[in-house]
Each structure stands twice: as C-alpha cells, then as structure tokens.
Structure 1
Amino acid sequence: MGSTDLLQNLSVQGTHLPPMAFRLPTGMHAIEVSLDSGERAEAAQRLVRDIYPQGEESLWNAMGSLYSAMADEMLAGGVGFFGIGLYDIEDGGGVAHCSLTIAVYESGETDQDVVAHGIQTLLLGDPLHEVTWLDLPCGPAVCGVTFRKLLVDGAYTQSGKDEELVMGQIQVHIPFSTGPYTAVVTLDSASVEQWDEFSHAVAGIVGSVEFPSPAFIDGRPD
C-alpha cells in the first residue's frame, strides 16, 4: 500500500490556518478545495483520469466538471479538502466507494485537551454515536461513528421498489497544536461490508496528521 504526503494551507472564512500534513492511502483520490478555481479544475481533471484510467475524453471532461463543481460547493460550505476512495471488493464483487472530507473550524481554544474533552462530551450526548478517545502522535482527538438508514426512492433502485440504504460515517475531530482550530476528518460510505477496510484507511490518515511549523510550507522554509 503506497501513500501520498500532502501539506495543507487551508483557509476558513478568509483566515489562513497553520499548515496541516497527512498521508493518504492508495485508493484514495483527492482534491484540495483550498486551491484557486483554476487549480481546482485542473486537480479535478487529474482526479478523474486517476479514477477512470481507461476512460475517454468525453467521460473525463464530464466527470472533471462535476467534481470541480462539487469542490466549489464544498469550499463555500467550509470544507477544505475532499476525496473519493475506490477499493476492490474481494472475489470480483465490484468496487466499494467512500467519500472523504476535511473541514476546519475555529475553536477559540489553544489547549488541545480542553477542546477534545469538550467535543467528547458533545458527541456522547447523541446516543447514535459510538465515541472513542484517540491519542494520536499529533495530540488528542475524538472519533465518532454512526450508522443511519435512508429510504431510497424506487425510481433510483434496480428493483424499482423503495429500498433501505445503510450509510456509515466515521468522523474524527483533531484539535490543532499550533492554533485555536480543529480539523474534522469525515468518511462516508454506503459500502458497509467494507467497513473494516475503511476504518483502517481512516486510522492511517489521522495517525499520520502533523502540524508543522508555519515556517515550513511545501517542505521549504519561507
């Protein structure tokens, strides 16, 4: 399993944040939505070529435009990063899909433990959450896992009948060690049969998170 090192310089409400570094596992294809619009469009085109290497130009253009538009919407909603995970299902069972987003919000508190304990208390108030405290190399974090049933209209199912769809979500809240901000890493998927693989992917991502000195962006001192 390979990985990719990414150094983020995200922004929230026009404020530049301290950098955040992490690794993505093989199978996760991503766009940094904090890029400018032209760079996002180029990143979307690269993404669809990675996901559909055997595709044609018409498919690449259509899907690239779709993902670029999604990135624009997510940026407006406060998301600083999003990706799509594609993992082969054993025994030729097809491909399992998941989505990954990273958002950052201002917490107003620089003590990582204080922020993490506050998040833990909040999540424990929701009985649908399975809450776990994490001691990551970058500091404390809190993980919440939920499963919800959605009713899918028969117009969108193969059977033509309304069907229940189980959606799983892993969400990890990671307070910055370098400022009063918290990163929220969220993975969503309806491929719950592959949940162990998705859980391992998220564990690898959040376990690799670092908050480098702001003097080092893109691996080089200012």
Structure 2
Amino acid sequence: MTSTALDGIPPVWFTVPDGFHSLPLAATAEERATLADEFVRELFPRGDDALWAATAPYYAGMGELMGSCGHEYSALGLFARDEGGVAHCAFNVGAVESGHPSVEAAATGIREILVRDATNDVRWLDLPCGPAVSSVSLREFTVPAELAGSGQETKLRAGQIQVHVPFPTGPYIGVFTLDTASMDYWGEFCEMTAIVLQTVSFLPPQEEEG
C-alpha cells in the first residue's frame, strides 16, 4: 500500500493499493524526466535500458499533460486477471477551489448539480473524513475501423467513478476519478475505489492514530 500526500493544496492523505503506478507529475522537465525513468523501471521490471530509454519520454509527457489538467496525483492501475491478461484503469486526484461555508453545504450543492444529469448514478457518502458525493456513469463509444485492432468499427464500453470530497481545512473540493474500459473487472474497481475513499484524511497519519 502506498500513502500519498498532495502538494500545492491544503494537505490531504489517501492510500492506494499495490498495482497503482504513479505518473511523473513535477514542476520542471528535469524532475519529470527523473521520475519517468523511475516509473518505467517500476512498470517494466523485466525490461532493459533500451526499453526504459524509449518509453520514459512518453510517460514524462503524459505526466506533464496530467499536471496541466490540474491533477495533483495521477496513476495507472494494472492488475493481472486470474484467467489471463491485464485489467487497467486510470486514477486521478485533483482539487478545485470552492467558497463553501461548510463541507455539508458543499456536498449538498454538488449533489444538486450532478443529479440533473440522468445518466449519472449520484449518491451521498459519509466517509470517515466527512461528507462526499459520488457519481458513477457508464458510456459507450464507437472506435473507428482504422483505429480498431480488428479493422472493423467497434463499440467500446467504459465506466467512470468520480467522487467529490469537500476539504474541511480550506476552500477546496477534492475530486477523485477512476476511469476504465476493463468492464469485466468493473466490480473489483468499484470495491477498490470504495477502499481508497475510506483512507482519505485531512490529518497527518500520526495525528489520526493519536
């Protein structure tokens, strides 16, 4: 398990399970390059210098893109299936500014906005860190024939879990998002997200334990 604290916003901690690989988010290109080199060695432990050197710039660029989108944390989740193959997801955490007078008012306002979209399954959550609102949506996309591996137009289903967690320590709302096209692993991803959310805290771990 990896415990993560975000920078640039009031502190928030959460824990992600093994299988999540943190993308190289950093302020400078030099830092991203260093983190990307570490990332590919972790992602491809059986690789070699040629593979790592070829793939690191791609993930450095992806880290720059995720950072420019406002993500404070971004990771790829890769999990071996019992029947073979790999289930994958993207997990991102960001924060948006909010002038909410209380976490309850913020969560109520978010829920009122999200329920306007009938395609969202919106629910109120009482987490150990306070109130939150989850929104689950399933989408179907058409992959053009020229981009599909089969050479034929293909329908692709994807799911998204997004949870809005108001900060009690500052004018921000944390946004935790998991996206996946591995829909046969959807139940496991839902359970995994629920477990991560139970670990969200606005107190340092040592203070929480005390």
TM-score (norm 1): 0.87
The alpha-carbon deviation at position 170 of structure 1 amounts to 0.5
Alignment of 1:8-47 (within 5 A): 8-9=6-7, 11=8, 17-31=9-23, 33-47=25-39
CA distance in 1, matches of 2:49, 2:26: 26
1:7 aligns with 2:5: yes
Deviation at residue 36 of structure 1 after TM alignment: 4.0
Runs of 4+ in structure 1 over 3 Å off: 34-37
Count matched residues: 207
Report whether the alignment pairs 1:207 with 2:205: no
Whole-angstrom CA distance in 1 between matches of 2:101 and 2:53: 44
Q: What CA distance in whole angstroms lies between the structure 2 residues aligned with 1:108 and 1:32?
A: 30
Cα distance in 1 for partners of 2:3, 2:125 equals 22
Distance 2:117 2:103 in 1: 22
Choose from 160, 173, 182 the match for 2:164.
173
Does 1:153 find its partner at 2:111?
no
Over 3 Å counting, the alpha-carbon distance change for 1:209 and 1:36 in structure 2 is farther
Which secondary structure does the structure 2 equivalent of 1:118 belong to? helix
Distance 1:147 1:197 in 2: 15
Shift of 1:58: 2.3
Partner of 2:185: 194
Asked if 1:115 corresponds to 2:113, the answer is: no
Check the 8 A contact 1:110/1:181 in 2, yes or no: no
Deviation, 1:8, is: 1.6
Runs of 5+ in structure 2 lacking a partner?
Answer: none
What is the CA-CA distance between 1:65 and the residue it aligns to?
1.1
Q: Give the 5 Å matches for 1:127-146.
A: 127-146=118-137
Contact 2:122 2:133 in 1 (8 A): yes
Q: Is the 8 Å Cα contact of residues 130 and 145 (structure 1) preserved in structure 2?
A: yes
- Of 73, 85, 89, 2:77 maps to 85
Q: 1:61 deviation in Å?
A: 2.1
Amino acid at match of 1:53: P
Which digits, 9 at most, give the CA deviation of each residue in 1:107-161, with x for residues without a partner?
1114111111111111100011011111111101111111111111112222210
Aligned identity (percent) is 38
Asked if structure 1 preserves the Cα contact closer than 8 Å seen for 2:26 and 2:64, the reply is: no
Contact 1:141–1:174 (CA under 8 A) maintained in structure 2: yes
The 3 A distance-change label for structure 1 pair 32 and 66 is closer
**2:83 is paired with a residue of what secondary structure?**
helix
C-alpha contact 1:129 1:145 (8 A) present in aligned 2? yes
Deviation at 1:212? Answer: 2.3
CA distance in 2, matches of 1:132, 1:58: 47
Q: Secondary structure at the match of 1:101?
A: strand
1:41 and 1:101 mapped to 2: Cα distance?
A: 20
CA apart distance, 1:206: 1.4
Which sits farther off after the overlay, 81-90 or 42-51? 42-51
Question: How far apart, CA to CA, are the structure 1 residues paired with 2:155 and 2:17?
Answer: 30
Report the Cα offset of residue 80 of structure 1.
Answer: 1.3
C-alpha distance in structure 1 between counterparts of 2:16 and 2:181, whole Å = 20
